[in-house]
């Protein structure tokens, strides 16, 4: 499903509303809410909105467990660090218990860090399938999402839940949830904003594209929902423009 919002502010408001609704529903149904946050810049405004009324009061933060969809292997204080952005925009301002915040920590080899985060997930979910209630994702102009980059071996990963990947164009290692894990989620929401994303958004939504060239096309939740929250600029090349 695609929802076209007027601009980034409207998109962020819609995302915050969805976050709060999913959180309340999950806690009501199962006593807890598990969410994997997206990195990059698009989600920042959503995170900021969640720290103020009405969302700060609506979200059951005490029962919320925060994970990440991916992380860049940079020092904690590096502005590229996704956990740093989420702490600054959201987590430092809401009462999520610290032991319920699970950043991807890359303080050893990327491979070891991936194994460690997978062990954390397996311990937390304590069952065969890691079913996040909500996974937030962004979309890169080259079709990557989380750190599932075109042409990388992680795209085929079916066994592991977390993988390390070397992104040559950035000269960086990253950690990422695999598509197999993301597709177990109850709801996956892409946040896509800006005119520069229009070409890739159109290509992602076109049926015939090869997912290995456009990894975002690997995201097809098995039982869960998939929502594209996009703004008008990002949607400018889509045939149907819906409110
Ligand atoms: C990351 C993100 C990545 C991001 C896209 C879009 O760590 O880089 O997880 O997948 O969502 O690159 O980034 P922007 O929102 O900054 O355009």
Per-residue pLDDT of the chain (243 residues; tens, 9 = 90+): 999 999 999 999 999 999 999 999 999 999 999 999 999 999 999 999 999 999 999 999 999 999 999 999 998 899 999 999 999 999 999 999 999 999 999 988 999 999 999 999 999 998 668 999 999 999 999 999 999 999 999 999 999 999 999 999 999 999 999 999 999 999 999 999 999 999 999 999 987 777 778 999 999 999 999 999 999 999 999 986 444
Ligand 1 centroid vs 150 CA: distance in angstroms?
A: 14
Please state the atom number of ligand 1 nearest to the C-alpha of residue 69: 9
Assess whether the previous peptide bond of 54 is cis (omega < 30° from 0).
yes
Ligand 1 centroid distance, CA of 41 (Å):
7
Nearest atom within ligand 1 for CA of residue 145: 10
Ligand 1 centroid to 144 CA: how many Å?
A: 8
Q: How far apart are CA 189 and CA 134, in angstroms?
A: 8
Among 130, 141, 125, residue whose Cα is nearest residue 197: 141
What pLDDT shows up at residue 176?
98
Q: What is the reported pTM?
A: 0.96
- CA atoms of 223 and 201, how far apart (whole Å): 23
pLDDT at 127: 67
Distance CA 7, CA 148 (A): 26
Query: What pLDDT, on a 0 to 100 scale, did the predictor assign at position 243?
Result: 47
Hey, which CATH number is domain 2-192, 3.40.50.2300, 3.40.50.300, 3.40.50.20, 3.40.50.1360?
3.40.50.1360
Q: Is the CB of 70 under 6 A from ligand 1?
A: yes
Report domain extents, the chain.
Answer: 2-192
Q: Is 45 in the pocket of ligand 1 (CB under 6 A)?
A: no
Strand partners, 35: 66, 134
160 φ/ψ angles, rounded to the nearest 5 degrees: -85, 155
The ligand 1 atom nearest the CA atom of 138:
11
């Amino acid at each position: 499903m695609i929802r076209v919002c007027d601009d980034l502010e409207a998109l962020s408001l819609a995302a915050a509303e969805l976050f709060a609704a999913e959180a309340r529903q999950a806690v009501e149904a199962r006593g807890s809410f598990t969410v994997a946050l997206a990195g990059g810049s698009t989600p920042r405004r959503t995170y900021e909105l969640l720290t103020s009324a009405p969302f700060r009061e609506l979200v059951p933060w005490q029962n919320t467990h925060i994970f990440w969809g991916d992380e860049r292997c940079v020092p904690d204080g590096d502005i590229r660090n996704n956990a740093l952005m989420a702490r600054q925009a959201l987590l430092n301002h809401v009462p999520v218990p610290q032991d319920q915040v699970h950043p991807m920590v890359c303080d050893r080899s990327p491979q070891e860090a991936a194994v460690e985060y997978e062990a954390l997930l397996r311990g937390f979910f304590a069952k065969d399938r890691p079913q996040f209630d909500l996974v937030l994702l962004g979309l890169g102009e080259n079709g990557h999402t989380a750190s599932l980059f075109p042409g990388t071996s992680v795209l085929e990963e079916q066994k592991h839940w977390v993988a390390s990947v070397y992104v040559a164009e950035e000269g960086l290692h990253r950690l990422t949830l695999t598509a197999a894990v993301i597709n177990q989620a109850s709801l996956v929401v892409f946040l896509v904003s800006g005119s520069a994303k229009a070409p890739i958004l159109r290509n992602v939504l076109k049926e015939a594209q090869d997912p290995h060239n456009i990894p975002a096309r690997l995201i097809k939740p098995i039982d869960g929902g998939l929502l594209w929250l996009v703004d008008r600029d990002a949607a400018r090349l889509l045939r149907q423009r819906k409110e």
